[in-house]
């Protein structure tokens, strides 16, 4: 299992997620982001808007996820 924070994944807080795979990590992050979005949490709304601007093309989206995957892969297992 590896641990990443919401901020490491592009979010707005220090909430930690633990997952065995990058795909599980992203799913946890997305669920948290949607929960915060539904609550109207301003920092998370701003983070989601910033990510949306970054992902203006399929290539940009791929680069973003590759960067986050590389970070995930470098983390030690805990």
Q: Tell me the per-residue pLDDT of 32-76, one tens digit each, with 9 for 90 and over.
A: 999 998 999 999 999 988 888 888 888 998 999 999 999 999 999
The larger pLDDT score, comparing residue 18 to residue 51, is at 18
Query: Rounded to whole angstroms, how far apart are CA atoms 40 and 35?
Result: 9
Nearest to 33 by CA among 6, 1, 64: 6
The first and second tokens of residue 10, run together, are 């592009």
Q: How many residues does the chain have?
A: 78
Q: What is the pTM of this model?
A: 0.86
pLDDT for position 27: 96
């Amino acid at each position: 299992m590896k641990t990443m924070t919401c901020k490491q994944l592009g979010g707005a807080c220090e909430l930690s997620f633990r997952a065995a795979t990058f795909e599980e990590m992203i799913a946890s992050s997305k669920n948290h982001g949607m929960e915060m979005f539904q609550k109207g949490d301003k920092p998370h709304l701003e983070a989601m808007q910033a990510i949306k601007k970054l992902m203006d093309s399929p290539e940009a989206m791929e680069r973003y996820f590759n960067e986050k995957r590389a970070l995930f892969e470098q983390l030690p297992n805990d």
